[in-house]
Amino acid sequence: MDYATLLQLLDTTLRLATPLLFACLAGLYSERAGIFDIGLEGKMLMAAMASASVAFLTGSVWVGLLAGMLASLLMAGLHGIASITFRGNQLISGVALNFVASGITVLIAQRLFGQGGRTPPLAGEARFSSITLPFAEELQGVPVLGPLYYEVISGHPLLVYVALATVPLTWWVLYRTRFGLRLRAVGENPAAVDTAGISVVGLRFAAVAITGILCGLAGAYMATALQAGFGREMTAGRGYIALAALIFAKWRPVAALWACLLFGFFQALALRPDVVEAVVQVKVPVPFLDALPYVLTVLVLAGFVGKAIPPRAGGEPYVKER
């Protein structure tokens, strides 16, 4: 494999890792607060449909992005009401919302556009275009690093850089702010938060709302940046891969970045079976590459790569004792 092919692969990796990263960090906020969210997939799908539809109808990708975040927030709110207010089973609520999203997105898109559940292709202002970072052209001539900067780092839609910036931001919020301390505490021992006079319900809803916003960004990126429009089931299990990445990263933000980049790299490889064959000298079936993230996650869960301890109060509705 030559350097140019490698750069191409890395470029694709970054593009494909972005929705994973948004969704993974979304799950991180929710699960750190003790609310398991298997419904990342459904939220992304809703956001993808809403953002593509609104972007097409208004001609503005920004209005589309806003609509995507609102749609995802709505789903997050439903999950919150089911699992926080009514103390329902978080897995069942998440699965149910995924089913709802899977059906209703196609229904709405079909109703609006009558194109078999797709939105019409987006173009121009209705889509995020790529940004060229400063000096990308000028530095292209610098050996090794120049092409790396030009090909891989530069030339992505804005949301890619937002996703990358969300990683240190999340780290800072989690470990350096009052909100972060309380968020981590409520996922470990809500009784400690409650007896300290802080509202468990309020904190958890705040966390679930952040999850909604980040999933909205993930879905909007899928439909208005990575691709040009919404299509049936277009998220293709990325919500689940993001959950796998979250476990792989042991619920830590910086590790989440590396996990998503790794899983994004696998997805990029799956698009280039010819490169894989050239490197390992054996024809590797694409489904095998697709399955790699899950295989790795199972290995992590089995304890081969250190121990993954989920937040202790995760999945348990909080009921006051005494």
Residues that bind another protein (CB under 8 A): 175-182, 184-185, 188-189, 191-198, 312, 320-322
Task: Specify the residue, 205 or 230, whose C-beta has the smaller distance to another protein.
Answer: 205
Q: Which amino acid belongs to residue 264?
A: G
**Which candidate, 15, 39, 14, places its Cα nearest to that of 26?**
39
Task: Specify the residue, 283 or 320, whose C-beta has the smaller distance to another protein.
Answer: 320
Task: Specify the residue, 86 or 175, whose C-beta has the smaller distance to another protein.
Answer: 175
**Longest Cα separation, the chain:** 70
Q: Which amino acid belongs to residue 278?
A: A
Task: Specify the residue, 2 or 321, whose C-beta has the smaller distance to another protein.
Answer: 321
157: β partners: 130
User: In sequence order, which residues have a C-beta less than 8 Å from that of residue 311 and are 6 or more positions away?
Assistant: 31, 32, 33, 34, 184, 187, 188, 251
Report in angstroms how near the CB of residue 319 gets to another protein at its nearest. Answer: 12
Whether the CB-CB separation of 251 and 183 falls below 8 Å is answered with no
Report in angstroms how near the CB of residue 179 gets to another protein at its nearest. Answer: 7
Q: What distance in Å separates the CA atoms of residue 152 and residue 268, rounded to the nearest whole number?
A: 13
Report in angstroms how near the CB of residue 300 gets to another protein at its nearest. Answer: 18
Task: Specify the residue, 59 or 310, whose C-beta has the smaller distance to another protein.
Answer: 310
Report in angstroms how near the CB of residue 40 gets to another protein at its nearest. Answer: 25
Report in angstroms how near the CB of residue 188 gets to another protein at its nearest. Answer: 5
**Dihedral pair phi/psi, residue 156, rounded to 5°:** -115, 160
